[in-house]
Amino acid sequence: KAGIRLLATLKYWEIQEYTVHHIFQKWVKKFPQKVAFRCEDRVLTFQQVENITNQLSRYFKEECNLSRGDCVAILLPNSEYYPCYWMGLSKIGVISALINTNQVGKVLEHSLKVSEARTLIYDTSFTPVLKNISEFLKDFKLLSVGEGEAVEGSIDFWKSVPHYNKEPLTGEINKGKFKGKLLYIYTSGTTGLPKAAIITNLRAMMMSMGVKHWSGIKEDDVIYDSLPMYHTAGGVVGCFQTLLGGSTVVIRQKFSASNFWSDCIKYDCTVAQYIGEICRFLLLTPTSPKDRAHSVRLVVGNGLRPQIWEHFVQRFNIKDVCEFYGATEGNSNLINCWNHTGAVGYVPWFAKTIYPVDLIKVDESTLEPIRDPKTGLCIRCKVNEPGLCVGKILKARSTSTFSGYVDVEATKKKIIRDVFSKGDSVVNSGDLLVKDELGYFYFRDRTGDTFRWRGENVSTSEVEAIISNIVGLKDATVYGVEIPGVEGRAGMVAIMDEEKKLDLNRLEEGVKKELSSFARPVFVRVINSIPMTGTFKIQKNKLQNEGYDPKKISDPLYFFKDGKEYVKLDEALYKKIVNNEIKL
């Protein structure tokens, strides 16, 4: 029923050529004084959001001379106003590039460059970062927000905005298209420079309304959103529950594990969002009466590991989990709203033609699809056989379109052609999944998150889960590192231990008991914090590049000597390892 309701809703909106603004205005009429967005004790009602975005759209059009098809970059922290900026811009057809607030230097320059924006709205807390790229910004129009020091030449545009008319620019809004560009949201950049994914009205509607209908979010729900507004989960899946669904969204400026449940209690939240490692962070906090004193019945997100799923729902008394899967730019979105532990989605056999998402065989060494030598087509995976998740591109079907990236060449690289029949095409998700006999999908590894050691494939996620349990749910991340002259990659684990309480003997005994010999980490790094992206994804490439050289790393390092015990890794031992004087 939820799927049919979603498809019917999207089809109706497509026929009507609706954009997010047409839907939001219906909610404004229904709930003008209801709280739309809350951040700490500051609130904006539905009517206030409508008024402010109308004023902003007039300001951008009349004072900034922006017009349909232009792009404006937004570099702002989370706040109740964040969605208002891009809404005001989109009312006149201007695309907003939502810049990751963790970016600096060349990466920040790259993100601004690919967006082709020539106007930047920024908070003055980012002034030091922007001063470092001042030469790059010399041709930008800079609009500042906040009371701190602004970059030279900036305009404090809130001085002018309140003077503008609060009535909507109806003619401009009605020029918007159902499939028109709305936002540019950047990939996390864990495997290279960030790419700007195109989010259309359709894409935003499909993602947010899909989560709403399948998970059972209602208009009277209060949703706790501590995720970054510049990312899909927080800025689209979260905020659009207000814009398209009439719910109240509580925005936290920055995620805090210690304040998560306190906030949910304070603001009477009934739904909470999570991504990446958030659930594990919450489990790492000391037990408290607040763990179960909240009213949250449903958590929605992606990245809840199977190994901690049951522990999480039991400790925090969560009735329902809605785990979804899908990349910002992809078309192979999946959802599991049946509390099926560990599953990231479900597509029953009878829905394959309606929603053509499937797994194909790939060569794990090259990550290239394996093709049938007779037909030249790709080979579908069998039940419980890991494969690359792909979504068929069907331009006529709203749930199967693919807008790709701003970079046309990057978009082409995501497409695989002649897959199930000659002339068809699919989007390469880059992820390995497995499907069981019932149609449930399970995440295995993001392509490249396995490594070979001693002729065996090592799954980093499986080793991480086991080691985390061995050392008492401490944060642990596993990756492969190269040793000169040795085939494959040796396993290395970085364990977060701020309190310096890691028990090496317990770790030794645990890995020998719980892990196969080839999966036991050869190196251990004890670290104060695991490097993360702004969307709580571990930056394994950073750890991998730093390696295990004690000259370069000040953190304590250990080596699994003779496969029996972890000994301190000093410069002398390091030289013996890289010179192959020690048998591995």
Q: What pLDDT score was predicted for residue 463?
A: 87
What is the separation, in whole angstroms, between the first and last Cα of the chain?
Answer: 57
- How far does CA 565 lie from the centroid of its chain? 38
Token couple for 197: 């994914």
Model pLDDT for residues 495-542, shown as the tens digit of each residue: 999 888 899 999 999 999 888 788 899 999 999 988 877 767 778 888
Res. 47: pLDDT tops 60: yes
Interatomic CA distance for residues 26 and 283, integer angstroms: 40
Q: What pLDDT score was predicted for residue 194?
A: 84
Higher pLDDT, 326 or 438: 438
Q: What pLDDT score was predicted for residue 192?
A: 58
Going by the DSSP 8-state scheme, the letter that residue 378 receives in this structure is B
Per-residue pLDDT band for 455 (boundaries 50, 70, 90) equals low
Contact between 391 and 357 under an 8 Å Cβ cutoff? The reply is yes
Q: What pLDDT score was predicted for residue 447?
A: 52
In which residue are the tokens 């699994």 written?
A: 560
Token couple for 541: 């490439």
Res. 134: pLDDT tops 50: yes
Interatomic CA distance for residues 34 and 83, integer angstroms: 17
- The closest of 274, 190, 145, 138 to 448, measured between CA atoms, is 190
Going by their DSSP bridges, the two strands 141-145 and 155-156 should be labelled as parallel
- The closest of 173, 172, 195, 198 to 184, measured between CA atoms, is 198
Q: Which residues pair with 405 in a beta bridge?
A: 197
Rounded mean pLDDT, 191-201: 85
- Across 23-55, b (16+ Cβ under 10 Å) vs e yields bbeebbeebeebbbbbbeeeebbbbbbbbbbbb
Model pLDDT for residues 427-453, shown as the tens digit of each residue: 999 888 999 999 999 987 555 567 778
Model pLDDT for residues 366-422, shown as the tens digit of each residue: 678 999 999 999 999 999 999 999 999 988 777 788 999 999 998 999 999 999 999
- The closest of 111, 107, 40 to 73, measured between CA atoms, is 111
Q: What pLDDT score was predicted for residue 352?
A: 83
List, in sequence order, the alpha helices (H) in 333-406.
none
Please, what are the domains in the chain? 1-254 (3.40.50.980), 333-392+411-444 (2.30.38.10), 451-579 (3.30.300.30)
Work out the burial of residue 531: count CB atoms within 10 Å of its CB; fewer than 13 is exposed, 13-18 middle, 19 or more buried: middle
Going by their DSSP bridges, the two strands 181-186 and 95-98 should be labelled as parallel
- The closest of 75, 37, 23, 84 to 56, measured between CA atoms, is 84
Interatomic CA distance for residues 319 and 297, integer angstroms: 5
- What is the residue-wise DSSP string for 130-148? HHTTTTGGGGSEEEEESSS
Res. 189: pLDDT tops 60: no
Res. 191: pLDDT tops 60: no
Among 166-180, 425-439, 485-499, the minimum mean pLDDT is found in 485-499
Q: Which long-range contacts (C-beta less than 8 Å, at least 24 apart) are formed by 391-396?
A: 391/330, 391/331, 391/332, 391/333, 391/356, 391/357, 391/426, 391/427, 391/429, 392/331, 392/356, 392/357, 392/358, 392/419, 392/420, 392/424, 392/425, 392/426, 393/331, 393/424, 393/425, 393/426, 393/427, 394/356
pTM: 0.83
Angle of CA points 85, 55, 204, to nearest 5°: 35
Averaged pLDDT score across all residues of the chain: 92
Model pLDDT for residues 347-376, shown as the tens digit of each residue: 988 888 888 999 999 986 567 899 999 999
Res. 190: pLDDT tops 50: no
From residue 24, alpha-carbon distances to 115, 134, 212, 469 in Å are 26, 38, 15, 46
Higher pLDDT, 15 or 529: 15
Q: What pLDDT score was predicted for residue 469?
A: 86
Interatomic CA distance for residues 149 and 162, integer angstroms: 22
- Percent residues over pLDDT 90 in the chain: 72
Higher pLDDT, 303 or 247: 247
Q: What pLDDT score was predicted for residue 187?
A: 81
Higher pLDDT, 518 or 179: 179
Work out the burial of residue 438: count CB atoms within 10 Å of its CB; fewer than 13 is exposed, 13-18 middle, 19 or more buried: exposed
